[in-house]
Chain A
Amino acid sequence: IVLAQSPGTLSLSPGERATLSCRASQTISNNYVAWYQKKPGQAPRLLVYGASNRATGIPDRFSGSGSGADFTLSISRLEPEDFAVYYCQQYGSSPPLSFGGGTKVEVK
């Protein structure tokens, strides 16, 4: 399954809303999509699993939605620490488990 993330880069200001898209080449079973945050020099951090479930300790400004082949990660009000690269991953089919190409959220 190929995952296409858009846009490639999102230029926003702190306090604004971010909407990131992840589209799959085919329907993802059980909506098994996860979202990760990646900052330079740090390990990835799981934000959302099962398309819409926040991982432990993740602030409620992060929310995931979608089904079938179209999924979205929303950040309601960007905090300074939210500027990073975000990846979706599908785990609905047997491995290999694929990642999308990423969306960079940068300061406008």
Chain B
Amino acid sequence: EVQLVQSGGGSVQPGGSLRLSCGASGFTFNSYWMTWVRQAPGKGLEWVANIREDGSEAYYADSVKGRFTISRDNVQMSVSLQMNSLRVEDTAVYYCARSRVMYCSGGRCPSGYWGQGTLVSVSS
């Protein structure tokens, strides 16, 4: 069974940092793109970042570029999101997700499995 279990998150002041992690099981982790998506309170879904199977490519939303870094550890079967210079508008529930299929081209793939979500709250 595919499982994505998220950890990290919490409350932080503006300008602070947090690291989210997502542990995977039940599938060949190093064959799938992984993605982070967020949902601010009362708002819609926002794509944040994704990373290639081997970690050699990563893409970011303009809203987080230069502040967030996505990474993965294929031995530990986990993906992380390092969030620096956090802003109030980064407050959201963050989800990690797995691409629907293996080896999708250029990160262009929908997400077929999702973690449970973790809340990040940025306020002074």
Binding site for A on B (CB under 8 A): 37, 39, 44-47, 50, 59-62, 95, 97, 100, 106-112, 114-117
Q: 22 A–B contact pairs at CB < 8 A?
A: A32-B108, A38-B45, A43-B97, A44-B37, A44-B45, A44-B114, A45-B114, A46-B100, A46-B110, A46-B111, A49-B110, A49-B112, A55-B100, A56-B112, A89-B110, A93-B108, A94-B59, A95-B59, A95-B60, A95-B107, A99-B45, A102-B45
Cross-interface CB contact of B108 among A92, A99, A100, cutoff 8 Å: A92
With a CB–CB cut-off of 8 A, which chain A residues contact B50? Answer: 95, 97
Question: Which single residue of chain B is at the shortest CB-CB distance from A56?
Answer: B112
Across the interface, do A96 and B45 meet the contact criterion of CB distance under 8 Å?
no
With a CB–CB cut-off of 8 A, which chain B residues contact A34? Answer: 110
Question: Which single residue of chain A is at the shortest CB-CB distance from B109?
Answer: A91
Interface status of A9 (Cβ within 8 A of chain B): no
Binding site for B on A (CB under 8 A): 32, 34, 36, 38, 43-46, 49, 55-56, 85, 87, 89, 91-102
With a CB–CB cut-off of 8 A, which chain B residues contact A85? Answer: 44
Q: Given A94-B106, A98-B47, A102-B45, A43–B117 Cβ distance below 8 Å?
A: yes
A92 to B106, CA, bound (A): 10
Across the interface, do A91 and B45 meet the contact criterion of CB distance under 8 Å?
no
A92 to B104, CA, bound (A): 12
Across the interface, do A89 and B114 meet the contact criterion of CB distance under 8 Å?
no
With a CB–CB cut-off of 8 A, which chain A residues contact B107? Answer: 94-95, 97
Cross-interface CB contact of A97 among B95, B108, B114, cutoff 8 Å: B108
Known: A49-B110, A95-B50, A99-B44. 14 other contacts (CB 8 A): A34-B110, A36-B45, A43-B116, A44-B114, A45-B114, A46-B112, A91-B108, A95-B108, A96-B60, A97-B47, A97-B107, A97-B108, A99-B45, A100-B44
